[in-house]
């Protein structure tokens, strides 16, 4: 099921006291968290490790997910919507979005883990912002804090439709590194 609450866009124009923000040139600008900082320590061969692990996931093949981009502390996964991935209103099911973004966050973290480790999702929280429909769904995950045991990520899911991108879901996630247990062990 997908969250949506789009009535505001229409309603905004009704209120004469509303204005479009003209950002003051003097206003202090907060700096957003960088989803791909240049200072992360990663492990050589991380792209190959992520690709091999992704290929071992039956669920990724079932839904038709494709690995899009792997960088240190960053991963994105794409999906082309089709009816059997949808909920009762014809939008991509929230569980499918969750599958994508949970995996994107997990592999974002995994790029920074040692070779003889695997990655587990401890927990995540997902907000659904708009119906997911269009030509392509792209989920991206990035590391916010890398730790030896626990790694924290954020993720976003966008739907691409007719040349426009809509933010449809955001995630916050906790990962755990399993040291001494490589990803391809039984």
User: Which of 5, 162 has the CB closer to a second copy?
Assistant: 5
Q: How far is the CB of 127 from a second copy (least distance, A)?
A: 4
H or E stretch covering 11:
helix 7-12
Minimum CB distance to a second copy, residue 91 (Å): 10
Task: Rank residues 137 and 144 by Cβ distance to a second copy and give the closer one.
Answer: 144
**Minimal distance in Å, beta carbon 92 to a second copy?**
8
Q: Measure the CA–CA gap between 77 and 100, rounded to whole angstroms.
A: 7
- Least gap, CB of 159 to a second copy (angstroms): 13
- 107 neighbors 73 (Cβ within 8 angstroms): no
Minimum CB separation from a second copy for residue 63, in Å? Answer: 8
For a second copy, give the closer residue by CB, 17 or 162. 17
Cβ closer to a second copy: 162 or 186? 186
Long-range pairs for 49-58: beta carbons < 8 A, 24 or more residues apart: 49/110, 49/111, 49/115, 49/183, 50/75, 50/107, 50/110, 50/111, 52/183, 52/184, 53/107, 53/110, 53/118, 53/183, 53/184, 54/103, 54/107, 56/183, 56/184, 57/103
Which of residues 30 and 163 has its CB atom nearest to a second copy in the complex? Answer: 30
């Amino acid at each position: 099921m997908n969250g949506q609450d789009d009535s505001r866009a229409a309603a905004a124009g009704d209120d004469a006291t509303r204005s479009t923000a003209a950002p003051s040139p003097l206003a202090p600008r907060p700096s957003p968290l960088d989803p791909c900082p240049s200072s992360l320590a990663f492990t050589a061969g991380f792209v190959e490790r992520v690709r091999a692990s992704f290929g071992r996931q039956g669920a990724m093949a079932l839904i038709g997910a494709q690995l899009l981009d792997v960088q240190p502390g960053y991963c994105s996964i794409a999906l082309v919507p089709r009816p059997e991935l949808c909920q009762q209103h014809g939008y991509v099911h929230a569980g499918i979005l969750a599958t994508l973004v949970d995996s994107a966050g997990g592999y974002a973290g995994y790029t920074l883990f040692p070779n003889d480790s695997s990655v587990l999702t401890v927990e995540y929280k997902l907000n659904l912002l708009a119906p997911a429909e269009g030509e392509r769904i792209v989920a991206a995950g990035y590391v916010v804090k890398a730790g030896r045991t626990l790694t924290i990520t954020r993720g976003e899911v966008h739907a691409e439709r007719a040349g426009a991108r809509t933010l449809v879901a955001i995630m916050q996630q906790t990962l755990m590194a399993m040291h001494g247990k490589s990803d391809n062990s039984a």
